[in-house]
Amino acid sequence: QVQLVESGGGLVQAGGSLRLSCAASGRTFSTYVMGWFRQAPGKEREFVARISWSGGSAYYADSVKGRFTISRDNAKNTVSLQMNSLKPEDTAVYHCASKSAVASDYEYWGQGTQVTVSS
């Protein structure tokens, strides 16, 4: 099994920045794709970004493209999400998740970290 723990959430004003981190343990990252998801109050969970093992393939939701950057450090078993130009609509609980390259769905999930953006 893989354990994922997020950190770095908090309160920030619109236009500000936050950097979220996700630490993985239990198994190697070597076979996994890592992703970030978020769920706002009263809304469904939505995809934010994902990154391949090599870091060469990153993909973003249109709502965050150009503002957020996903990265990973395999030596440290961490995945990060740099969030710039934050908007109130970015307010949500952010979760990291992992899956094998061939899996159709994410297999492991962190408990989440709260991000609140005030206007």
- Enumerate long-range contacts of 81-84, CB under 8 Å, 24 or more apart: 81/19, 81/20, 81/21, 81/22, 81/36, 81/48, 81/49, 82/17, 82/19, 83/17, 83/18, 83/19, 83/20, 83/115, 84/17
In this predicted model, what pLDDT tens digit does every residue of 54-106 receive, in sequence order? Answer: 888 999 999 999 999 999 998 888 999 999 999 999 999 999 999 887 888 99
Per-residue confidence band for 31, with pLDDT thresholds at 50, 70 and 90: low
Task: Give the percent of the chain with pLDDT over 90.
Answer: 76
Q: Report pLDDT for 78.
A: 92
Q: Is the pLDDT of residue 30 over 60?
A: no
Average pLDDT in the 35-39 region? 97
Average pLDDT in the 6-32 region? 89
Q: Report pLDDT for 75.
A: 86
In this predicted model, what pLDDT tens digit does every residue of 110-119 receive, in sequence order? Answer: 999 999 999 9
Output the average pLDDT for the chain.
93
What's 89's DSSP letter?
Answer: G
